[in-house]
Every structure is written in structure tokens, then in C-alpha cells.
Amino acid sequence: MPGIVEVRNLRKSYAKLEAVKGISFEVGYGEVFSLLGPNGAGKTTTVEILEGLRKRSSGDVTVMGRDPEKSMNELRTTVGILPQDFNFIYNITPREALDYYKESLGLEADPGEVLARVELTDSADTVFEKLSGGQKQKMGVAIALLNDPDLVFLDEPTAGLDPVSRRALWKVIEDMKARGKSIILTTHYLDEAEKLADHVAIVNRGVIIASGTPKEIVSMHHKADRIMLSGSDKLQSILSSMQIHHKREGRYLVIESDSIDALFSIVERLKGSSGDIEDLILKRETLEDVFVRMVGEEAAYEN
Amino acid sequence: MKISRVMSYLKLHSKSFLRSKSGVFFVILLPVLFMVIFGSIFGSSGESKATVAVQNLSGTNESWNLVKVINKTGVFTVNLVSPNENLTSYMAANTIDQGVLIPANFSTNYNLGVVFIKFIYNPSDQVSLAMSQVLQNALLKYYTEGTGKTVAVYPAALSTQLTKPVDYYIPGLMGFTMLNGINSMIYQVPNYREKKIFRQLSFAGLTKPEWLASSTIFYFIITLVSDLIIYLVGRGLYGANISISPENLLMTVLVIFFGLITFMSVGLLAGLLTHNEETASVVGNVIFFPMLFLSGVFFPISLMPSYLQTVSAFLPLTYFVKALNGLMIYHNLSSVLPSIIIMGIASVTLFIVSSRLASRVDNM
């Protein structure tokens, strides 16, 4: 069965700059697919091509079996879009905005129900400029969900939000996922992708440098888990005396190993020195660690 | 183009506009405020002296004494008119509401004991008629009580209506409301582009032509409302001698429509060529103020030096104000047809240029 979104060898150039250099991926039905990458990696360009907002230079793209460049008008009733930096007319309320989309698209939806789903009922009659950052994003999500879409594009939905607002939006996304919606999530928050996405593609400089489930990516590109220790001045000599290889990173002494069991046995050996230890952090490598290393290595290689 | 989308956006934009205090102030209240200010200054009410045009056809000592008496009342400022001129034409040309005609046989009749002088008043100005009574009382006191002679005033209405300065301000202020078309676009377009609101509206299927159609309908309605208020305030409060005849009504609405399209297109062009609100504000003022002061909105073009008159000939607002002056004050359609044709050509040309540019702009 073909995916809800299929991208084959997508390229996009702006004058002499090639922003997307032959990207291919597929998004399955009911899947949360996340495009990760640093600023300027080509994520938003890719998503805007899928949303029918930009023309591609070459390659094949289908969204729900249609070419978005030619059929976006038909797709509008089955696709929801939260663009990057969502904005609206400053003195219009969320309820009025939803009424506008309902009327314009000829939808049967109940704006009140959608506003309740994104937990925006209390601010439904507050004008846009007076909403908080999180509430503005929720309004954008509500607009994206009004047509009960099968596919939702969320382009950096939590950018610039405080932790509480971020988590509130995660809840909304998880709810959408539970309802079986397919979601394309663009973000540069790795924890967000790790928590929400079924599949991830890391984009850097216009190409996909890794893809798979977050777990697959971490295990494929895994280098080392680590123990981070801080404490008394004696701690460094204790580690040296035990012949435990370590390095200093700020106030922490860091012990790395590609085997988590080896790290557990080191913790066991350190039991006798617990009086000299203030902090002991056992940290498995995360998607963020892999991402930073991969993107950093690419940059170092380029340089 | 889908009418339902045009109407949906029209509704949304109307809500946004009516909530915008500055929008309502500039489009509705400011022109009315100007009307009140100019009406108060140039309308016929107030406590200052009334100017009276006096034509002495007698030229005798008795008749010149009468002129002195009129001057001494403290109510009138006498403006002497040469016996060779036509008094009513002089009044019309100089927008003087009151005139006194001292007949050639003034002295003969005066010596006989009773003499009549003609007081010409502007029938559209109630104060003007009341002035005849003021003069009669003054003459009664001076002559009848002082000399035993009777100098009686018989009022006569001016057959042709006089224009007053306030009359000219009504088409001028209607021209001022046209400039809202420029402002609406010049601020909205860069703002919507910068904040990507056009993109967001396009998710509702709204196309550029639909947005433009909706905005035009909105500003056409709001401008008609604003102009109607100016018209009613001008006539009702300040007795402006203007009217729109039924046969000129359609033409007046057409001129307003041409004006709006012209100025919205100018605003759209400027909005598309500027990239942020700050630059747009500068560009807006550069277009707005010269046009405001050089197109006959506040000052007659005939008072300007010739080089400024040349500049004003290139401003579309000049032709708009001229066209409305002709339709509302002189009721002479044929004399303003060239201005209306120029407005029509300007509106179509500018609309084509601006909408083509809009269709090419990426983030709109």
C-alpha cells in the first residue's frame, strides 16, 4: 500500500542555491513522521512543497495520491496545515477565525468542539494579539484540524514556547495521533521528535543523512553511553587509582563506554567512594546526542 | 473566483476593521472632524461681522452717508462695488452672502421723505436673511428717529445660489476619504506579507483576485458611508449649498468608484514595493501628504503658484475633486466629463499594473 505522502528524489533550487538535493521518503497512514535538521537544512522548503506552497525544481511528490503543485485546492479539505511562525489578523478571535475557515471551505465542522479539543475554549473570544504564544499555536492547530484532515503538517509547532505550552501542544499532537491522523512534524527539538515521532528523517544541507525510528537511529549511530560524576577534589584521583578512563567536561568527570553493562559495573565499583560523589548521572545516548554528533561531523567534514 | 469566499473574507475584514480604533478614526471620524472644523470656520454661523457688498449707484452725499451708517452699525464689513459691475455676479464671485443696492434716485426720494434700498440675501443661508432685519433696525434708529426721513429695506433673494467656502470642502473631504484607499493597502499589504497572513488566508482557498475583490467591496462601501456622512453634516450643520441631482447621482458614485480603484491600486503598488511596515509608513506619507495639499482638498488650486498647479495636474486626486465639484456644486456634467474620463483611465491602468504585480509576488 502506497504511503499517504511519497517523495522521490526531490530537488529545489533558488537561483544558485540548491536548498533540497534529492530527498526521498515515505510517510505511512496514521504515522507521525518527523523531519529534523538544523536551521536552513531544507526542512521547511520540503514541507512547503508538500503543502503546495512552493514549486519543486524536480522529483516526484504525491500527497494522498495527488500532486500538491496541481491539486492543492482539492487537497485543502483533507489536509491540515500549521505553518512555521503561524500568524493571524491581530484583532480577530480564534472562534471568528475558525468560522471564517468553516464558511470559506464549506465545512460542516463545529468550531467550538475543535477549540475544546485543543483546550482553547476559555480564550476562544480573545483577539489574536492578546493570546499567549502557546494559545496562538493552539489556534493554528485548531485551524489545521477544523476540516478533520487525514494528514496534518505541523511546521515547528512548539518553536519559542515555554515548557508548559510545549507539553500542552504535545498532548494535542498525541491526541491527533490517537485518532489515527498522519502527521508530518518538522522540528529542531530532538526530545519532541523522540517522544512523538514513529519515524524520523534527519536532514542536513538539503539531504537526508539518517532515517528510521528514533530507536533505530540511536542504535545505528550509537557511540557511547556515559557516566557523569561531580564531587570532591579526590574524585579524579579515585578514578585514576581504579584505572577508570575518564575526561573532564566542565564540573563533571565523564566516563564513556559503548556497553551499558560496563558502566553499571563502574557504578558498582564506585559504591565505596559515595562520600566523595555529589552527582552521579548515568546517561544513555539520545537522539539529540546522535543528531548533534552527526550534524557536527558533517560540518567538520565540510570544513 | 468564488463569491462565498469573497463574502467570508469581507465579513472577517469588516470585523477586523470595526475593531481597529485607528481604522475607524481615519476612515470615518477624521473626515467628519475636518468637516466640523472647516464648517465652523467657513460656515455662515458665528459672531464675526458679516460682509456686505454695497453698490452705490447714486453717488450723492446722502447716499455715501448711508454707506457710512451701514459701516457704523458694527455688524457689517462693507465691501464697495463699482457701479459698473453687476452686483450679484460680484457677490457670487466673492462668495458674499449679503448685498445692498443704493438706487440712482436715492437722493431725490430721500429728500421726498421715503426711500427704498434693496437688500440682497442668500436664500440658502438663514442668517443672511436675518441680516436684512438687522440693517432695517439700524436705519430706523438713525434716520427715522434722527432725521425724520425713512430709509426702508426691502429684501430680495439672490436668484442664483452662492457658493460658500464650506461647499468646496465637501468634495475636498470626499477626496480625503479616497486616500484611505491608499492607506488601507499600503499598510495592510506589507504587514500581511511580513506576517505571512496572506499564506494563512490562502489555506481557506482565498485567492489573490478574491482578496482584492473583497477589499474593494469593503472600502467602496465604507467610503460611500463616510462620504454620505460628510455630505449630510455639511448640508445639515453648515448649510452647504451642494446637492446631487438624481441624474448626477450615478455619475457621482462612479467617480467615487474610479477614485477608490485608483487610490487602492496606488496603495497596492506601494505596498508591494515595500518590504516592511516601517518603509511602507514612509512611502505612505510621501504619497499621502503632497496629494492632500496639492489636489484642491484643502486649498483652491487657483491660489497656488503656477509650478505647483503643474504638479497638481499630474495628481489623480485633482481630477477627482474637480469632478465632484462639477457634479455637486455646479451641476454641470459636460464640464467635468474630461476629469471623469481621466479618472476612469487612471483607475483601469493602475488596477491592471498593480494586480499584475500582485500576481507575480511570491509571498502574497
Structural domains of chain B sorted by starting position, each given as residue range(s) with its CATH number in brackets = 3-42+164-360 (no CATH), 50-157 (3.40.1710.10)
Nearest in space to A111 (alpha carbons), one of A137, A139, A133, A92: A139
User: A185: closest CA among A3, A35, A24, A31?
Assistant: A35
pLDDT for the residue numbered B254: 93
First-to-final CA distance of chain B: 17
Handedness of CA A253, A258, A261, A265 (dihedral sign): negative
Question: Are B203 and A76 a contacting pair at CB < 8 A?
Answer: yes
Contact A96 B200 (CB under 8 A): no
CB atoms within 10 A of CB A175: 14
Contact B19 A91 (CB under 8 A): yes
For chain A positions 80-99, those within 8 Å of chain B (CB to CB) are 81, 83, 85-92, 96-97
ipTM of the complex: 0.79
Question: From the CA of A127, how many Å to the nearest CA of chain B?
Answer: 10
How many helices (H) and strands (E) chain A has is answered by 11, 13
Interface A-B, measured as beta-carbon pairs within 8 A, has a size of 55
Q: What is the pLDDT of residue B40?
A: 65
pLDDT of A303 higher than 50: no
| Beta-carbon separation of A104 and B5 below 8 A | yes
- Across the interface, whether the CB atoms of B11 and A86 are under 8 A apart is answered no
- The pLDDT, as a whole number, for residue B49 is 73
Q: What is the C-alpha to C-alpha distance for residues B281 and B190, in angstroms, rounded to an integer?
A: 10
Of the candidates A81, A90, A96, the beta carbon closest to that of B203 is on A81
What number is the average pLDDT over the span A34-43? 88
Residues from chain A contacting residue B20 (CB–CB below 8 Å): 91
CA–CA separation, B177 and B260 (whole Å)? 9
**Local structure of residue A156 (DSSP, 8 states):** S
Q: Which residues of A touch B5 (CB under 8 A)?
A: 104
Contact B334, B327 (CB under 8 A): no
Q: Smallest Cβ distance to B15: which of A81, A88, A92?
A: A92
d(CA A130, CA A122): 13
Q: Average pLDDT for residues A42-70, to the nearest whole number?
A: 91
Give the mutation candidate from B1, B203, B360, B361 for the A interface (greatest A CB count, under 10 A): B203
Distance from CA of B263 to the nearest CA of A (A): 23
Which residues on chain B are in Cβ contact (under 8 Å) with A86? 200
Contact B200 A103 (CB under 8 A): no
Tell me if A100 and B203 make a contact (CB, 8 A cut-off): no
CB contact under 8 A, B8 and A103: yes
Look at residue A299 in the predicted model and tell me its pLDDT. Answer: 58
**Residues B301 and B318 sit within 8 Å (Cβ to Cβ):** yes
Q: What is the mean pLDDT of residues A72-95?
A: 90
What are the tens digits of pLDDT across the range A168-201?
Answer: 889 889 988 998 999 999 988 888 888 999 999 9
How many Å lie between the alpha carbon of B16 and the closest alpha carbon of chain A?
6
Asked if the Cβ–Cβ distance from A104 to B200 is below 8 Å, we say no
**Band of pLDDT at residue A298, cut at 50, 70 and 90:** low
Interface of B with A in 173-202 (CB under 8 A): 195-197, 199-200
What is the pLDDT of chain A when averaged over all its residues?
Answer: 88
Give every CB contact of residue A201 below 8 A, 6+ residues apart in sequence. A23, A25, A33, A34, A35, A36, A208, A210, A211
Please judge whether A100 and B12 are an interchain contact, meaning their C-beta atoms are less than 8 angstroms apart.
Answer: yes
Q: Collapsing DSSP states into helix, strand and coil, what is residue B329?
A: helix
B19–A83 C-beta distance less than 8 A: no
Chain A contact present for B22, CB below 8 A: no
- Taking CA–CA distances from B9, the nearest residue in chain A reads A100
Record: contact A87-B4, CB cut-off 8 A? no
Decide if A61 contacts A7 (C-beta within 8 A): yes
Which of A76, A87, A90 minimises the CB distance to B200?
Answer: A87
**Which of A161-165, A231-235, A271-275, B109-113 holds the top average pLDDT?**
B109-113
B16 contacts in A (CB within 8 Å)?
A: 89-92
The tens-digit pLDDT sequence of chain B (364 residues) is 888 888 888 989 888 888 877 777 777 777 777 777 666 655 554 455 778 999 999 999 999 999 999 988 888 889 899 998 888 878 866 667 789 999 999 999 998 888 999 999 877 666 777 888 888 888 888 887 788 888 999 988 876 555 666 777 888 888 888 877 888 888 889 889 888 999 999 999 898 889 999 999 999 999 999 999 999 988 888 877 788 888 888 999 999 999 999 999 998 998 888 877 778 777 877 887 788 888 888 776 766 777 888 888 899 899 998 898 888 887 777 778 899 999 999 999 999 999 999 888 876 6
CA distance to partner chain A, nearest, from residue B248 (Å): 38
* CB within 8 Å: B8 and A106: no
Of the partner residues B11, B12, B196, the one whose CB lies closest to the CB of residue A85? B196
- CB A87 to CB B203 under 8 A? no
Spell out which residues of chain A touch residue B196, defining contact as CB-CB under 8 Å: 83, 85, 87
Residue B30 to residue B23: CA distance in whole angstroms: 10
Give the angle subtended at the CA of A171 by the CAs of A169 and A177, to the nearest 5°: 110
Q: Considering Cα of B203, then B207, then B213, then B216, what sign does the dihedral take? A: positive
Cross-chain residue pair A88–B5, CB shorter than 8 Å:
no
With a pLDDT cut of 70, the percent of chain A lying above it is: 97
CB B179 within 8 A of CB B292: yes
Range ranked top by mean pLDDT from A140-149, A238-247, B321-330? A140-149
> Between residues 213 and 252 of chain A, which touch chain B (CB distance below 8 Å)?
none
Interatomic CA distance for residues B164 and B239, integer angstroms = 9
Residues of A in contact with B12 (CB under 8 A): 89, 92, 96-97, 100
pLDDT at B343: 92
User: pLDDT value at position A241?
Assistant: 86
For residue A91, give how far its alpha carbon lies from the nearest alpha carbon of chain B (Å).
Answer: 6
CB contact under 8 A, B12 and A92: yes
Residues of A in contact with B188 (CB under 8 A): none
